[in-house]
């Protein structure tokens, strides 16, 4: 993975990005999270996607300490995702799921909803996820 630039972090995770490669890198600290902290990461990811013409997200959920509450997951799919798709260049979503199945944000039902809305792929580690993002149209957008 190319060097990242820091954009936002809170106790539960960070939003970084690789402007040269055109993607955002979202990752978790492993600290137990609240709904507002979970949403803050995604709100700042949306802000970053609006600010820069990034086309991909690499979501590294391996350190996610627990699955988010159903209300937060529903917010992510029903509010956040449609808003991001409406006003950014977001095209590809690479996910490295939490190691513990009970901690996964992306259950099969969530994965199905994501895949209907955006090109999504799941990986066991970071390097193949980055390769996938770079192989597709997730490179930087000319502005």
In a domain, 103, yes or no: yes
- Mark 59-80 as b/e (b = at least 16 C-beta within 10 Å): bbbbebeebbeeebbebbeeeb
**CB of 119 closer than 8 Å to CB of 93:** yes
For 47, residues 6+ apart whose C-beta sits below 8 A from its C-beta are 8
pLDDT of the chain, 143 residues: tens digit per residue: 788 999 999 999 999 999 989 999 999 999 999 999 999 999 999 999 999 999 999 999 999 888 889 999 999 999 999 999 999 999 999 999 877 766 666 666 777 888 889 999 999 999 999 999 999 764 434 33
In a domain, 141, yes or no: no
In a domain, 123, yes or no: yes
CA 31 to chain centre: 18
Tally of domains in the chain: 1
State how far the Cα of 90 lies from the Cα of 119, in Å rounded to an integer: 10
In a domain, 48, yes or no: yes
CATH number (domain holding residue 80): 3.30.750.24
In a domain, 142, yes or no: no
Domain, as residue range, for 11: 5-135
In a domain, 140, yes or no: no
SS3 assignment, position 19: coil
């Amino acid at each position: 993975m190319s060097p990242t630039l820091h954009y936002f972090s809170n106790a539960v995770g960070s939003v970084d990005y690789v402007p040269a490669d055109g993607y955002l890198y979202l990752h978790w600290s492993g600290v137990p999270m609240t709904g507002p902290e979970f949403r803050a990461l995604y709100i700042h990811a949306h802000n970053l996607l609006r600010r820069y013409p990034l086309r991909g997200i690499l979501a590294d959920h391996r350190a996610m300490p627990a699955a988010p509450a159903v209300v937060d997951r529903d917010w992510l799919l029903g509010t956040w995702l449609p808003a991001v798709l409406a006003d950014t260049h977001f095209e590809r979503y690479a996910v490295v799921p939490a190691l513990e199945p009970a901690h996964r944000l992306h259950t099969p039902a969530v994965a199905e909803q994501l895949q209907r809305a955006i090109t999504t792929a799941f990986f066991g580690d970071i390097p193949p996820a980055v390769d996938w993002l770079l192989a597709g149209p997730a490179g930087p957008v000319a502005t």
